[in-house]
Amino acid sequence: MLDKIIKTSEKSERELTFEIGSNSDLILENTITGNLPWTIENFRNTSKGYLTFPTKFEMVDDILGIDHKGKVIIRVSVNPEEIINNVEYGTSRLTGRIEAINKLKEAGYKIGILIAPVIMVENWKRLYWDLIKTLHQNLSEKVKKDVFFEIIFMTYSFVHTKINEEAFKNSSYVYNKDLMTGRGKGKYMYKNEYRKDGEKFFLENLKKYFPNNDIKYIV
């Protein structure tokens, strides 16, 4: 697969960015396979193009010393600690993720911050305001200089509901029938009025604390 990506990148007339983390968290996976340094080392000599992947984990030390030649964009996913504790079971704590961001930037990686999934619990505005303020206070100046943001609101499905009812007894923390509406094929999303309110909230607060940083999208 990497050979195909490299060939496609080399043939392209423009810079392409390849998402390689759609099916798993590569930082977590690397603790078992050790494949991530190999992947970066074998892509770095391409004449153009970038690799990118998201992660919710802090175990980044294996890739800090690699000469990646600026060709890797790592997007660290964050959420308020309360939501991490109630939804993102088994992932790194917020403090660990922030430390990983600072380490990765110090090692020269391009960094994005993915606020996802945004879950509109009862006190969501306070939680996400605290998150944005915590990021501003604890990210290094190098990170804050050019980090970009991506915001993704949670979508949910009938299948998730049934699984979580069995596996996670607090699944009602995630799904709120009053705020969500059907999206087709058993999926749910936040109603338009709540999404618009959420978009306004993130635009205003990210611009307040990170006025010079790009928000790539809010979906």
Residue 161 has pLDDT above 90, yes or no: no
In a domain? residue 28: yes
Amino acid 182: pLDDT: 87
Residue 15 lies in a domain: yes
Report the alpha-carbon distance of residue 133 to residue 127 in Å, rounded: 10
The H or E element that residue 44 is part of is: none
Q: Dump pLDDT digits (tens) for 49-92.
A: 999 999 999 999 999 999 999 999 999 999 999 999 988 989 99
> Residue 175 falls within a domain, yes or no?
no
Q: What is the mean pLDDT of residues 95-112?
A: 98
By residue range, what is the domain housing residue 78? 2-153+192-218
Examine residue 207 and state whether it is found in any structural domain, yes or no. Answer: yes
Lowest-confidence pick of 65-74, 82-91, 172-181, 200-209: 172-181
* Res. 156: pLDDT tops 60: yes
Percent share of the chain, pLDDT over 70 = 93
In this structure, of 20-24, 46-50, 132-136, 164-168, the range with the lowest mean pLDDT score is 164-168
167 within domain boundaries: no
Provide the token pair at 101.
């961001």
8-12, 84-88, 141-145, 174-178: least confident range: 174-178
pLDDT-based confidence at 218, cuts 50/70/90?
A: very high
DSSP class of 171: G
pTM, whole model, 2 decimals?
0.93
Evaluate whether residue 185 is within a structural domain.
no
Whether the per-residue pLDDT at 18 is higher than 60: the answer is yes
Q: What is residue 212's DSSP assignment? A: T
Tokens of 133: 């303020």
What does the pLDDT read at residue 177? Answer: 84
Three-state DSSP class for residue 22: coil
Q: Are 189 and 171 in contact (CB under 8 A)?
A: no
- Count: domains in the chain: 1
112 is a domain residue? yes
Q: pLDDT grade, residue 39 (50/70/90)?
A: very high
- Check residues 68 and 183 and name the one with the higher pLDDT: 68
Q: From CA 183, how far away is CA 180, in angstroms rounded? A: 9
Q: In this predicted structure, what is the pLDDT of residue 184? A: 74
Task: With respect to residue 161, please indicate whether it lies within any of the assigned structural domains.
Answer: no
pLDDT of residue 38: 97
Q: Is 51 within 8 Å of 39 (Cβ atoms)?
A: yes
Query: Which CATH number belongs to the domain containing residue 76 in this structure?
Result: 3.80.30.30
